[in-house]
Every structure is written in C-alpha cells, then in structure tokens.
C-alpha cells in the first residue's frame, strides 16, 4: 500500500519535500514550516492513505492538519503549496525506486490531497471568521465602555453646572468640555471605520490650504484648552490632492489630537505640508518625549497605546493607517529620541497638476 511505502521511505521523502519547499520563491518558506509542517503533513497523509476509500468519512487529519498549521502561524498559501510539494516528493521517490504508484493508489493520493486542501481552506475561513468576530466584539465592548464613561462624566458636570453656582469657564466647565470632545472624537473615529470597512469613498479634488485651515481652527481650540502650543505652516497656493475628504480630515485630526494629548503642558505641536513633484506630505511633529518602543510600527497595531495613559481604545492610529491606505496614501512615523516624533501622511498629487515642487511657507 502507498501508506506503507511512505512510512518505509519517510526520511527520503522528507528530504526531497524540504528541498522543494526551500527552493520555492513564493510564498517564502520558513524554518518552522520545514522542521514541523512538512513532517506533520507527511505523517497524516500516510495515516489517511491507510484507510480505504469507502471509509473516507472516518479519515482524520485533513481539516485538523490545516487548522494545526494555521494556528502555528502558517499562511493558507504555505499550507496549500506544502501539500503539493510533499505529494510531488512521494511520486518522485516512487519513480526513482522503480516502484510506480498503482492507478488506484494514485487516484486515492489525489483524492486525499484534494480533501486536505479543501479542509485547510475551510478551516482557514472558520478561524478567520472567529478571529474577526472576537475582534469585533472586543472593539464594540471597548467603544461602549468609553462612550458610557464620557456620557456619565458629561452628565455629572452638567448636573453641577445646572445648579447655577459655577460658571462654564471654571474647572467643571472644562470637565464637560473634555467629555463632549471625547464623545465627538469617538463618534468621528467610528464613522471613519465604518466608511473604510464598507468601502464607502467619494474621491474629490481637495484644496490642501482649505483643509489645513479647517484643521488648524479645530486643533487650536483643543491646544488652548490643553495648554499646548500649536503652529501651522502656511500652504503653498494651489496645492491639491485627490482623496476622500472626510477620511483624510478625520485621519489628520486624529494625528493632531494624539500629538496634543501626548505632548506635555506647554509643549509644542506643529503641522506642516511639504509638496514635491509627485507627492504631498502632511507632517505632524510633537514633543511626546520620544517613542518607548524600538519599533515605531507597533503604534499601528490595534489595542496598542503610546504611553501609560490608557484612555481611548488604542484603535486611532491603526484606523488612521487604514483610512490613509484606503485613499491610496501611506503613513509613517519617525522617532526623535528624547524629544518627540513626526507622523507623515503622504498622498499622490493629481496627475494633471504635477509640476515644480511646491513646499510650505513658514
């Protein structure tokens, strides 16, 4: 039987399988795949081939093996390609030994291969949906918690102010102001997330100067309330980008709000716009003291926050990146150790309007 042949020639089949996988250009192989994944599949393939075709309903391992590899971190592409590479190695060893695989065994081998691939894809979809549901439940739970807290704070502050003994300009009024602004930020963020998930975009020609003026007006109020300094460089006339304006505005506003939040009392936040022949880049520099992580990309991981201040969902920057990527741009962060960091949002300039570089005017 073919299963006995695989067991007897396991070492040589594993050697050839690993050689085939190692030579693969895409998807690139990993050490774990070569050391653990290939032997796991080969052993389960031999076990499944020992079961007659009429008892196929009792064949173990197809879906289980796919799930095991996916849980180990392998991609679905790696799993599917590994199946093919192992089966090619089996047939190659059989031919070299002058022991061609009988037709019935070869048909059974192909059937088990099809079942394994189908099982892996099915398991991949199930795991992905479960992960997505878990993430969505967690996100909604955090969102509801934050909304409840801010509404509760606003109601308490309003109740005190309603008594008429305190004015809006005092500390209680400031508490109400922060709670309302927090609600506004959460709602804006949630609406942006819905637009990105649903693929709802309305591309239009955006005047960069007008957009920056609006951002400055809103951020100035927040900066004054927080005791921070804000400077905005004047934008070169006629500068434009093609983008979904609400998504772009929400993304830039979130970066500015974060910069103000994490800069110290009296700290300085700046917004500048730089244009080259092909791109427009919005840069927000803060004085957060520098990033705690050696890998700035961790800031764009969901549920990650920049400091010990755990207010918020830790979703602002990941959503900002998704929004920017959805409109064809990219976002990066540069660390300024001991001082702060610079977030840069880069977008393509409209093709017909590309010309000499136009930079911001200080």
Read off the pLDDT band of 142 (50, 70, 90). Answer: low
Give the residue from 112, 132, 152 where a domain finishes: 132
Kindly state the helix (H) or strand (E) to which residue 332 belongs, with its residue range: strand 330-336
**Token pair in block for residue 156:** 């308490």
Mean pLDDT to the nearest integer, 212-217: 90
CB of 283 closer than 8 Å to CB of 342: yes
Higher pLDDT, 132 or 303: 132
CATH number at residue 341: 3.30.565.10
Contacts of 91 (CB under 8 A, 6+ apart): 101, 106, 109
pLDDT of residue 346: 93
Q: Residue 307 to residues 145, 270, 302: CA-CA distances in angstroms?
A: 20, 20, 14
Same domain, 127 and 244: no
Dihedral sign of CA atoms 170, 172, 177, 182 in order: positive
What whole-number distance in Å separates Cα of residue 25 and Cα of residue 19? 12
Same domain, 113 and 218: no
Same domain, 110 and 226: no
Cross-strand partners of 240: 207
pLDDT at 192 over 60: yes
What whole-number distance in Å separates Cα of residue 315 and Cα of residue 313? 5
Q: Up-side HSE of residue 65: CA atoms within 13 Å toward CB?
A: 30
Same domain, 106 and 221: no
Read off the pLDDT band of 310 (50, 70, 90). Answer: very low
Which of 96, 124, 122 shows the shortest CA–CA distance to 9?
Answer: 96
Same domain, 76 and 218: no
Same domain, 110 and 228: no
Same domain, 103 and 220: no
Residue 361 lies in a domain: no
Q: Quick one: residue 216, left, alpha or beta (phi over 0 = left, psi -120 to 50 = alpha)?
A: alpha
Give the residue from 132, 147, 169 where a domain finishes: 132
CB of 219 closer than 8 Å to CB of 230: yes
pLDDT at 302 over 60: no
pLDDT of residue 351: 72
Higher pLDDT, 221 or 193: 221
Query: Considering only 10-24, 70-84, 252-266, which range has the smallest mean pLDDT?
Result: 70-84
Residue 185 lies in a domain: no
Same domain, 225 and 343: yes
For 33-65, the pLDDT digits (tens) are: 788 778 877 887 787 777 766 555 444 454 566
pTM for this one? 0.50
Same domain, 128 and 245: no
What whole-number distance in Å separates Cα of residue 35 and Cα of residue 308? 40
Domain count, the chain: 2
pLDDT of residue 358: 43
CATH number at residue 64: 1.10.490.70
pLDDT of residue 68: 67
Cross-strand partners of 234: 361
Read off the pLDDT band of 135 (50, 70, 90). Answer: low
Same domain, 220 and 347: yes
Give the residue from 132, 149, 167 where a domain finishes: 132
Residue 152 lies in a domain: no
Contacts of 167 (CB under 8 A, 6+ apart): 173
pLDDT at 226 over 70: yes
Read off the pLDDT band of 270 (50, 70, 90). Answer: very high
Show the domain range for 51.
2-132
Mean pLDDT to the nearest integer, 332-354: 85
pLDDT at 341 over 70: yes
Residue 235 lies in a domain: yes
Residue 127 lies in a domain: yes
Mean pLDDT to the nearest integer, 62-89: 70
Residue 239 lies in a domain: yes
Residue 195 lies in a domain: no
What whole-number distance in Å separates Cα of residue 264 and Cα of residue 259? 10
Same domain, 101 and 229: no
Residue 182 lies in a domain: no
Read off the pLDDT band of 269 (50, 70, 90). Answer: very high
pLDDT at 202 over 90: no
Kindly state the helix (H) or strand (E) to which residue 331 belongs, with its residue range: strand 330-336
Q: Share the mean pLDDT of the chain.
A: 77
Same domain, 215 and 344: yes
């Amino acid at each position: 039987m073919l299963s006995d042949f695989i067991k007897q020639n396991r070492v040589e089949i594993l050697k050839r399988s690993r050689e085939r996988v190692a030579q693969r250009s895409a998807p690139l192989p990993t050490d774990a795949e070569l050391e653990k994944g290939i032997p796991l599949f080969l052993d389960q393939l031999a076990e499944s081939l020992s079961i007659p075709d009429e008892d196929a309903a009792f064949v173990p391992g197809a879906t289980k093996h796919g799930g095991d590899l996916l849980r180990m971190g392998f991609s679905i592409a790696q799993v599917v390609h590994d199946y093919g590479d192992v089966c090619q190695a089996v047939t190659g060893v059989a031919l070299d030994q002058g022991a061609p695989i009988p037709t019935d065994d070869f048909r059974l081998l192909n059937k088990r291969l099809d079942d394994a691939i189908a099982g892996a894809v099915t398991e991949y979809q199930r795991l992905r949906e479960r992960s997505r549901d878990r993430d969505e439940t967690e996100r909604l739970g955090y969102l509801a918690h934050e909304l409840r807290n801010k509404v509760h704070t606003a109601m308490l502050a309003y109740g005190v102010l309603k008594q008429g003994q305190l004015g809006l300009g005092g500390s209680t009024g400031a508490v109400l102001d922060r709670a309302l602004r927090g609600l506004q930020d959460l709602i804006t963020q949630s609406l942006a997330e819905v637009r990105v998930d649903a693929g709802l975009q309305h591309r239009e020609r955006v005047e960069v100067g007008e957009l920056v003026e609006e951002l400055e007006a809103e951020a100035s109020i927040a900066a004054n309330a927080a005791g921070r300094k804000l400077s905005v460089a004047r934008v070169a006339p006629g500068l434009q980008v093609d983008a979904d304006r609400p998504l772009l505005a929400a993304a830039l506003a979130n970066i500015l709000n974060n910069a103000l939040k994490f800069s110290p009392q009296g700290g300085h936040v700046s917004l500048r716009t730089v244009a080259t022949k092909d791109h427009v880049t919005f840069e927000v520099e803060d004085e957060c003291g520098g990033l705690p992580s050696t890998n700035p990309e961790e800031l764009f991981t969901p549920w990650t926050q920049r400091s010990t201040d755990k207010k918020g969902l830790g979703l602002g920057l990941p959503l900002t990146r998704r929004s920017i990527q959805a409109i064809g741009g990219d976002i990066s962060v540069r660390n300024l150790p001991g001082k702060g960091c610079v977030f840069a949002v880069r977008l393509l300039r409209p093709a017909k309007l590309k010309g000499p570089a136009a930079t911001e005017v200080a």
